[in-house]
Chains A and B, each alone.
Chain A
Amino acid sequence: MNPKKHIKDALLGAWRPALAILGAVLVSALLLRAFGYDAGHSLAMLYDASFSNLRVFGSMLNRACPLLFTGIAVAIAYRGSVFNIGADGQFLAGAIVSAWIGIKGGGLPGPLLILLMVLGGTLAGAAWAFLPGFLKARYEISEVITTIMFNYIAIQLVGYLVRGPLRDMAQAEPQSYAIAAQGWLSYLIPKTKLHPGFIIGCIVAVVIFILLFKSWFGYEVRAVGYNPIASKYAGISVTRTTLATMLLSGALCGLGGFFEVAGASHYLYESLSSGYGYTAIAVSILAGNNPIGVIFSASLFGFLTLGATAMQRVIGVSAQFTSIVQGIIIIFVAAASVKGLQKTRRKAEKGGH
């Protein structure tokens, strides 16, 4: 393939999701109108909510951060043919352990405490993904059901902790104590609350991209995802690769949970996640399950969620309107990519290139 063709393909590849997003925005605007809201005003507000000044722009990147980590996690799992709907639970598991270490480790120096929180959060995310991954790899039990059950268990676990053992009684609403101040991540730009999570997430995206497309492990993951039976005959341990994929996916979610606690909230509370793991599916699909693409789709969804909060405040439309937009985007993008597949196949059958 010559370089010119490569660029042309990449541009064509970006056209499809771009068109799909445009279609989804149009449908969403029509829906807003149908529900009796001012669609033009809403769209303007959506823009203002993220771009009117540096402070809100920082907030937008912070909103994108959990989606970035969970989005990469879902993408790598999807490449390995594992449908990880459990990103939410793994994210919460990471947040729980990071917060717990941060609260209990008040006597430790900052760098050590942060290191422990990172390790604890990452391992907790992987641990939360272990059983669904093991059951899928060893017994072919659908990960869709088990990961979702683990999500609900994690949500209840957070509820138990912030109402019981970790509850800060000084607060009216149930929430945990704040983590020790030396465990707080510093803000990158003055006058914003931008923590390092998004930037580090971008680096992680590149690392995972290289791992997935340039390493032996990544080759195995993709081979198993593409055809497990052929992979098995090629000498790849499907069981081990599937489990490793799931553990890596969970670890990334856990790391996202760490950044949410240490960078953004500084304490644990019941709606810490607001369904990031489910949104991550949309984020990953929009990016074509490409870790680097996830940087852009996560930003887009961070922009949408922040805008939706503003829309609820001013126009009164429920912030869950983002779920509708996400659903429509998924359908449009997924349907558009299938059409592409069809076209190439028809071309191949004709013998053309």
Chain B
Amino acid sequence: MDQVSFFLAATVRMATPLMIAALGLVVSERAGLMNIGVEGTMLAGAFAAFSVSAFTGNYWLGILCAMLAGCVMALLFAFTSITLRTPQIVIGAAVNMLGSGLTAVLFRKLFFDAATGGIQVATFPALPIPLLHAIPILGSILFNHNVIVYIGMLLVPALWFIMNRTSTGLKIIAVGEHPRAADSMGVNVFRTRYAATLFSGVLMGLAGGYLSIAQANSFNVDMTGGKGYIAMAIVVLGKWTPGGVAGGALLFGGANALQMTLQNLGLGIPNNIIMMVPYIVTILAVLTASRHRVIDAGAKGIPYIKV
């Protein structure tokens, strides 16, 4: 039983960064933007969180800067794709290169030269929720995590509410589905798309920061290891809804936790083979998701030209 609840708790921890990034993507993709620069944006967040936390010793400041870094990367994407109307997939690829390159260069510059082997950074501690964490089994699975996990959990209903029950959500979906119609109804397409992109950047930065100063306490070059792309797959799997995305993220969190458990069990399966599991699961998941008709934004990836 202990093994199972440990595995499920690990699933929740692993699912959190994927879910937060995917929730951000839900908003920007519904607004009609195809941002494949998740990986680079998350890396920027991970590095910002790590370095600020290392220098100031304040993890809250670290995570704040992670969100800011994510926002800056998203601003670059928004400006080039919405204002300059550059092909979005191309810009996304560039954002990934910039994120990977900038963090690698700065990491080497700031932490390699310092010759400080094993930098201690302040990380988010576990924050058991009073009373709830004492519930047998369920308590250790859901209510004994760091605060970002809880933020992720709260984001799901919050985003569901915004997307389905507020005029903001309606505007986002309108500019994604039919920008011309939205424009003629007085919705500012550019402002809405900018806001959606920046918001998604904040969440991607948060997800990246989680990787470096909540899940781990270090930064590695390219430490996201494809999690940004997996988040994109989760959005497809979750059919562009916050609830669906949460479910998809748990599936991938489970695949990751399974991979770790298999490695720990020492069954004699080579690690490289085990590490393929999340990627194979992604392909299978996208395959099954494709059998259903999707509700993807109608005008996704198409720049809007105001006449």
Binding site for B on A (CB under 8 A): 35-36, 83, 85, 131, 135, 139-142, 144-146, 148-150, 152-153, 156-157, 159-160, 163-164, 278, 281-282, 285, 316-318, 320-328, 330-331, 334-335, 338-339, 342
Contacts and interface: CB of A to CB of B under 8 A. Distances in A.
A163 B96 CA distance: 29
Given A316-B108, A320-B105, A338-B86, A148 B226 contact: yes
Contacts of A159: 272, 275
Contact of A324 (B97, B233, B282, B290): B97
Contact of A139 (B95, B105, B279, B290): B290
Contacts of B89: 83, 144
Contacts of A330: 90-91, 93-94, 97
Given A145-B229, A152-B279, A338-B84, A135 B287 contact: yes
B94 A331 contact: yes
Nearest to B83: A335
Contacts of A342: 85
Contact of A163 (B80, B270, B279, B290): B270
Interface residues of B, number: 45
B85 A323 contact: no
20 contacts: A35-B109, A85-B93, A144-B89, A145-B286, A146-B283, A149-B280, A153-B280, A156-B279, A164-B272, A282-B97, A316-B108, A318-B108, A323-B101, A324-B102, A325-B101, A330-B90, A331-B80, A335-B80, A335-B84, A338-B85
A326 B99 CA distance: 11
B221 interface: yes
Contacts of B236: 142, 145
B105 A326 contact: no
Interface string B217-233: 00001000110010011
B185 to A, nearest CB: 26
Given A145-B282, A149-B229, A330-B91, 10 more contacts: A35-B105, A135-B287, A141-B287, A149-B282, A159-B275, A163-B270, A322-B101, A325-B101, A334-B94, A338-B85
Interface in B97-145: 97-98, 100-102, 104-109, 113
B249 to A, nearest CB: 15
Interface in B164-197: none
B1 interface: no
B189 to A, nearest CB: 18
A36 B286 contact: no
For the complex of A and B, the 9 pairs showing the least CB-CB separation, nearest first, are A323-B101, A324-B101, A327-B97, A320-B104, A327-B98, A160-B272, A330-B94, A159-B272, A318-B108
B92 to A, nearest CB: 9
Contacts of A150: 279, 283
Interface string B258-283: 00000000000010110110011011
Nearest to A28: B101
B67 interface: no
Residue with the greatest number of chain A CB neighbours at <10 A, chosen from B107, B113, B275: B275
A139 B283 CA distance: 13
A239 B287 CA distance: 17
A334 B91 contact: yes
Contacts of B91: 330-331, 334
Given A135-B287, A164-B270, A156 B275 contact: yes
A323 B90 CA distance: 14
Interface of B: 36, 76, 80, 84-87, 89-91, 93-98, 100-102, 104-109, 113, 221, 225-226, 229, 232-233, 236, 270, 272-273, 275-276, 279-280, 282-283, 286-287, 290
B100 A320 contact: yes
B143 to A, nearest CB: 33
A52 B191 CA distance: 52
B90 A334 contact: yes
A149 B283 contact: yes
Given A145-B286, A327-B95, A35 B101 contact: no
B266 to A, nearest CB: 16
A325 B96 CA distance: 12
A334 B87 contact: yes
A145 B93 contact: no
A140 B279 contact: no
Contacts of B232: 144-145
A331 B101 CA distance: 14
Contact of A323 (B86, B98, B109, B233): B98
Nearest to A342: B85
A312 B276 CA distance: 32
A125 to B, nearest CB: 18
Contacts of B97: 278, 282, 323-324, 326-327, 330
B84 A320 contact: no
Contacts of A318: 104-105, 107-109
A152 B225 CA distance: 9
B175 to A, nearest CB: 20
B297 to A, nearest CB: 14
A152 B90 contact: no
A156 B279 CA distance: 10
B144 to A, nearest CB: 31
A158 to B, nearest CB: 8
A330 B226 CA distance: 21
B253 to A, nearest CB: 17
Residue with the greatest number of chain B CB neighbours at <10 A, chosen from A36, A153, A285, A317: A153
